[in-house]
Amino acid sequence: MKKYAATAKATFANLPSDKQQRVVTAAIREFAASGYQRASLNTIVRQADIAKGSVYQYFANKEALFLYVFEQFSLAVKREVKAHAGKGKGAIPGFFDQVREVLLAGIAFIDANPEAFELYLKILFEQEVPQREKLVSQLRLFSAEYFTPLLEEAKARGEIRADVATATVIFLLDAVIERFLQGYAKPYLDSGLGLAGKDRSLLINEIDAVIAILRDGLAPEQNGA
């Protein structure tokens, strides 16, 4: 999977980490609020408290900055997911417990990084984003890379129906997780579930209901059922 860290110049890499973070935070905020086309580099440098010309010392242009910010978003998502990996209920977490943890990781990420998730939604829904298809496909590829080995292990343990192709299961999981998180972040996308405003325990109940439906559809039938 291609990394976009190279879009930052060496001058940016040599900055103190707190100054790097100021630039990234300001860029995420502006791209999330305005979208790529309308985003203003002047606004970014002002919010980052750096000299106006500095951004061109760090990045070749707005697209290079955008791609770098996207890479930071991608890395943050992966860290959040991996931090929750293996937190299922059993000593060896079941597959559906792991899916549940991915959903919880997504909620935790949105709570901690609402502007970053807003940026992701801009990439999904706005057409005039540089390399948009490649960026979206990168996240889809991460989903496949993450779930494929878990699915193969689950099939070997008899948790998942052997007659359903792994790619089909990943497509289904990706769609369900994506839609749930969109609904959590944006009430107008939650189909009336009220996810964003739910008490934590009620939100967990909604997650468990989704996981139960996935389990019922994907788990093998038990003998005598």
2 pLDDT tier (thresholds 50, 70, 90)? very low
Residue 149 dihedral angles phi and psi, to the nearest 5°: -65, -35
Class of 67-218 per CATH?
mainly alpha
Amino acid at 101: E
pLDDT tens per residue, range 147-192: 999 999 999 999 999 999 999 999 999 999 999 999 999 999 888 8
| Radius of gyration from C-alpha coordinates of the chain | 20
pLDDT of residue 6: 59
CA torsion sign for 143, 144, 148, 154 is: positive
223 pLDDT tier (thresholds 50, 70, 90)? low
21-27 long-range contacts, CB within 8 A, separation 24+: 22/48, 22/49, 22/50, 23/48, 23/50, 23/55, 23/58, 24/68, 24/69, 24/72, 27/65, 27/66, 27/69
139 pLDDT tier (thresholds 50, 70, 90)? confident
DSSP string over 74-114: HHHHHHHHHHHTT-SSSSS--HHHHHHHHHHHHHHHHHH-H
Alpha-carbon dihedral 4, 142, 98, 73, rounded to 10 degrees: 30
pLDDT tens per residue, range 112-125: 999 999 999 999 88
Residue 203 dihedral angles phi and psi, to the nearest 5°: -65, -40
What b/e readout covers 95-128, taking b as 16+ CB neighbours within 10 angstroms? bbebbbbbbbbbbebbeebeebbbbbebbeeeee
Query: Domain ranges in the chain?
Result: 67-218
Q: What is the mean pLDDT of residues 78-104?
A: 78
81 vs 84, residue with greater confidence: 81
- What is the chain's mean pLDDT, rounded? 89
Q: What is the mean pLDDT of residues 127-137?
A: 88
Contact criterion met (CB below 8 Å) for 149 and 75: no
